[in-house]
Amino acid sequence: IRVTFTPIHRREFGITGTIAVLQDVTEQEEMETTRREFVANVSHELRTPLTTIRSYAEALDDGAMGEPQLAERFVGVIRNETERMIRLVTDLLHLSRLDSNEAPLRMQPADVMEMLDEVADRFSFQMKQKHIRSGMFVEQGIGKVVIDRDQIEQVLDNLMSNALKYTPEGGNIRIEARRNSEGMLSISVQDTGIGIPKKDLDRIFERFYRVDKARSRNMGGTGLGLSIAREIVKAHGGQIFLESEYGQGTCTTFTLPMLGEGREAQ
Ligand code: ADP
């Protein structure tokens, strides 16, 4: 609580009283802390690839250029790190657009089955490579929903790519769509992967929060996928949540209004 005192002056009597203002600044301070942490995280996430790029460029300068095989490897690293930074900056821009409500949702009717089929197709090659089996279930009678299809596809892509990243060879990934008890469309992506420890579950949708930073980075993750998914789902008037059993698997579910009564459709 912040307290400010303002004296009350009366010309002929001097100070005759005091106004005390009590302000609850907890929320403001929390926001400020979150903002500071975010800036620190972004700086760190950008600095890491940049330092790598610098040292590999220096190594090339210091003679590695003369050894074609080495040079090729170093240039490969530089390229990978650059790709990572591009992904990170793209994700950050996307988040900032979602935060500022700058990009209104482009709501249009979309066929759920067709959309899920397309998502599964996009990942089928990587799934085959990792010997991961896939399954899909769409409850009967679920036809079209009014959504911003590009954005919801982004949510699905983020969930699918997580499922794929964190599921070892030979696992299983399943997409399901049904109408839940509240009449909302509920879509879930379920995997038999490494799972998430209970203690991390609460924070998993926070920006840059990862269970294992090194593993996520190695997999090419930015730590922003779930935060972006949450913002998009929220903008549609839905909810997203994640259930996980460490070592067993994870199921991420999001809901959408069946008629698309989200922010932009009202
Ligand atoms: P990242 O780019 O690191 O994958 P996300 O925001 O998509 O970032 O996810 C945050 C963290 O949540 C991941 O780093 C990972 O630790 C955990 N996570 C997300 N999805 C899964 C999953 N399906 N299985 C296991 N862990 C997951």
Among protein residues, the one whose CA lies closest to atom 8 of ligand 1: 223
Q: What type of residue is 149?
A: R
Residues of the chain falling short of pLDDT 70: 260-266
pLDDT digits (tens, 9 = 90+) for 59-76: 999 998 999 999 999 999
pLDDT of 261: 43
Quote the ligand 1 centre to 254 CA distance (angstroms): 15
Residue 237: phi, psi to the nearest 5?
85, 20
pLDDT of 263: 44
Distance between CA atoms of residues 159 and 116, nearest Å: 12
CA 20 to chain CA mean position, Å? 43
Distance between CA atoms of residues 108 and 78, nearest Å: 41
To the question of pTM greater than 0.90 for the whole model, the response is no
Name the token pair of 234: 């929220």
pLDDT digits (tens, 9 = 90+) for 22-59: 888 888 888 888 889 999 999 999 999 999 999 999 99
| Residue among 190, 216, 219, 224 whose CB has most ligand 1 atoms within 8 A, to mutate | 216
Left if phi > 0, otherwise alpha if psi is -120 to 50, otherwise beta: which for 245? beta
